[in-house]
Chains A and B, each alone.
Chain A
Amino acid sequence: MADEVLLETPLAGLHRELGGRMVPFAGYSMPVQYPAGIMAEHLHCRAHAALFDVSHMGQAELVGEGAAAALERLTPAEVQALKPGRQRYGLLLNERGGIVDDFMVANLGDRLFLVANASRKHVDFPLIESVLPAGVRLRPLPERALLALQGPAVASIIPTEMGFMGISAMEIAGIPVITSRSGYTGEDGLEISVAADKAEALARHLLSLPGVMPAGLGARDSLRLEAGLCLYGNDLDENTNPVEAALVWSMGKRRRMAWDFAGAEPVREALDNGPKRLRVGIRPEGRQPARAHTAIESGGATVGEVTSGGFGPSVGAPVAMGYVRRDLAADGTPLELRVRDKALPARVAPTPFQPHRYAR
C-alpha cells in the first residue's frame, strides 16, 4: 500500500491552504487536523460549529421501480416505508449475518440516495448491483463532494425546517445541494452533498459564517467515539453481526417478522439465543487511554477486545468501546484492560459518553 497513489478530494487545495496535516485514509489524502489541533477542533464542534470534508465517502443513487425492495435483500433496515424527505441508518449484511458496511439511505422522492464508507464503497456498490432486478440501477456519484457542518451553532447559521434525519434539495449561497440533518458527532448539524466543482466555493462560504472552523478526521473520530457511534473496520466488520454490535435498533420491525434479508437466519439465531459477545462502552479509570486492540480481561482471563479507544476531550477522560463476553456486558461491570503489560482497571459504561444533542 506504501506505493499507492493517494486520491484527493475536491477540497485538497483548500486543506493545504488551511494548513491541514494530510494523512492517508481509505486510499485518500485527508486532513487529520488543522493547526488548531484535534482537541481545539473537537471542543469547538461541541461549542459552536465545525466543518469536515467527508468527500471520500461513497455517494450513490438507486433508481427505478422496486429500488427499495431490492436494497432490502441486503439490509434489515426498513427502506420501503421510508418516507420522501427522510433518511435512515442501515447495515449491509452478508449471508452469514456479518456486517459488510454501515450506511445511510434516504428517500429523495424519485430515487434513493446512499452514503457508504470510503473504505467499503468498492465492496458495497458491486454487492448492491449484484442483487438488482432489471429496471433498477445503481449510479455511483464520484462527481459529488460531501461536507459535514456539525455543532450547536449550525441551526442558527443555516436555518432549516427539517428535523433530525430529514433530507432535501436546497440552495446554500446560491449553490444547489442535497442536505440532510444528520452527522457523526452526536451534535445537531448538516451533511451537505454538492457537485465537486462547487465544493470549494461552498466550503469557503461555510467557513466564512460566524463560529465555523475547519476540523479534521482526528476530531471526527474523537467526537463519534464520545457519541458512541461505530466506526466500520474498528467496531464493525464482516465477522460481526447486528445483535452483538448492539445495532438491532437499525432493523425494521417488519423486517424482523419476515426475515427476508441476507444473513437473516444467523441474525435470528443470535437474537433468539443471545449473542456470545456484546459491544459495550468502557470507561478506563484514571487518564490513560486504552486504544483499539487492547485485550479486555476479567479474573485473569481474556474476555474481549477494545475496538475503539482514546481520550474524550469533552468527557475529559479516556473512553472506549469494545466487545466483551455477554455475561460481563452489564453497565458497571469491572474489567481490566491490558495496556503495555499492565492491568488498567475499567468499567462497562453506558453510551453515548457525551449526550446526543440532535434536533427533534
Chain B
Amino acid sequence: MTMKFTKDHEWLRIEGDAATVGITDHAQNALGDVVFVDLPEPGREVQAGEAIAVVESVKAASDVYAPITGKIVEVNAALVDNPGLVNQAPTGEGWFFRIAPEGELPDDLMDADAYASHVESLA
C-alpha cells in the first residue's frame, strides 16, 4: 500500500496485517537532532489520536500519536540505542511502531500530495 500521512506529521504504510508508523521528513527536520525515543509496549491497545510515544531532540520533546486504532504488534528497538535513525531515515529505518488496525481507518488520512499541501499551508 502507498504511504498515508496525518496532519500531525506522521506517516503510515499498511504492510501485511499491520501498519508501520513513523514521523515525516518535515517533522524530523523541525525537531532537529533526535536524542531519545520512548516507545509503547507491544500488545497495547491504542486509539487513533492517542499520544503513545515521545520523541526528544536536543532542544524539545514532542508526542507521537497513534494514527489509527488498533494493537501495537512491534516497536523499533533500534531507536533505543540509535535515535538518530529518525533523522537519517525518517520513512525507512527510523520507523517507530507497527499497529494491527481494528475497524475502519480514519477518513482524514492524506496522500503524499495532500500532505505536501498541508505542509505548504503551514509555512
Contact = CB atoms under 8 A, between A and B. Distances in A.
B58 interface: yes
Interface residues of B, number: 13
A222 interface: yes
B32 interface: yes
Contacts of B57: 38, 311
Contacts of B38: 288, 340
B57 to A, nearest CB: 8
A42 to B, nearest CB: 8
Contact of B58 (A38, A288, A340): A38
Nearest to B84: A39
Interface in B80-117: 80, 83
B32 A311 contact: no
Interface residues of A, number: 19
Interface string A291-323: 100000000000000000011010000100000
Contacts of B21: none
Given A32-B59, A289-B61, A310-B59, A39 B54 contact: no
B61 A311 contact: no
B36 A289 contact: yes
Contact of B35 (A33, A218, A287, A340): A287
A60 B86 CA distance: 45
A287 B58 CA distance: 11
B80 to A, nearest CB: 8
Nearest to A221: B59
18 contacts: A33-B32, A37-B33, A38-B33, A39-B32, A39-B58, A218-B58, A221-B59, A288-B36, A288-B38, A288-B56, A289-B35, A289-B36, A289-B61, A310-B58, A310-B59, A313-B33, A313-B58, A318-B36
Interface of B: 32-33, 35-36, 38, 54, 56-59, 61, 80, 83
Given A38-B57, A40-B33, A310-B59, 16 more contacts: A32-B59, A38-B58, A38-B59, A39-B32, A42-B58, A221-B59, A287-B80, A288-B36, A288-B38, A288-B56, A289-B35, A311-B57, A311-B58, A313-B33, A318-B36, A340-B54
